[in-house]
Amino acid sequence: MTKHLTLRTRTTAAGAVMELAGDLDHHTAPEVRDALPGLSLRPGGQLVLDLAGITFCDSSGITVLIAARNHAMAADAAMALAAVPERVARIFRIVGLDQVFPTYPTAQDAEGAWHIASG
C-alpha cells in the first residue's frame, strides 16, 4: 500500500532545500530523518522543506518535520515549509502546526523571504 518516498536536497544561498515526494509515513520517515545530519546549515541560514509532491503524511511524517525543525534550531537556522498540499495543511491545522512552521507557496518564495529578512 505504501508508495516510495523520493528525497532530493540542494544547497542554496540561504542554506538547504529538501524536496520530498510520495508518502511521508511510518515506513518512509526514517529516510528523511537520516538525511538531516548531512544538510549544510549555518547560523542565520534557513532549511526549506518542499512538500509539493507529498501525497500522504501521518503522525510519523509530522514527527520527522519536527525533527527537521529541531535540527535547524540546533544549528541556529530557521525552518520553513513550501508548497504544502491541502490535505497535509488540514492535518497541520488539526495538530496546530500551522502556527509553528512559516509556510510559503514555493521554495523560491521561501528563499526570497529569507533574503529580505536577512537584508
Partner 1 sequence: MMCATGDPADSKGPAGDQGPADEDARFSELLEDSAEDLYERAPCGYLSTLLDGRIAKVNATLLDWLGYERGDLVGRRHFSDLLTVGGRLYHETHFAPLLRMQGEISGIALELKAADGSRLPVMVTSTVKTGSDGQPLLIRTTLFDARDRRAYERELLRARKEADLERDRLKLLNTTLQKTLLPPVPANVPGLDVAAHYHIASVDEVGGDFYDLFPLAAGTWGLFLGDVCGKGAAAAAVTSLARYTLRAAAVYNPDPAAVLNNLNTVLNHEYNGNDPRFCTVVFGLLTPDPQRGGFRITLASGGHPPALLMRADGTADYLPTPGGQLIGVLPDAHIATTTVHLAPGDTLLLHTDGLTEAHTTSAGGEDRYGDDALLDFGRGLAPTTASGTIGAVRDLLDSFGTGVDDDTAVLAIHVPRTTCEERQ
Tell me which residues touch partner 1 (CB under 8 A): 1, 26, 33, 36, 55, 58-60, 62-63, 66-67, 70-71, 74, 93-97, 99-100
Q: What residue has cell string 544547497?
A: 11
Cα torsion 16, 117, 108, 83: sign: positive
Please say which residue, 52 or 109, places its beta carbon nearer to partner 1.
52
How far apart are CB 50 and partner 1 at their closest, in Å?
A: 21
Cross-strand partners of 19? 8, 50
Please say which residue, 13 or 95, places its beta carbon nearer to partner 1.
95
Could you give the angle at the alpha carbon of 71 between the alpha carbons of 92 and 86, nearest 5°? 20
How far apart are CB 115 and partner 1 at their closest, in Å?
A: 27
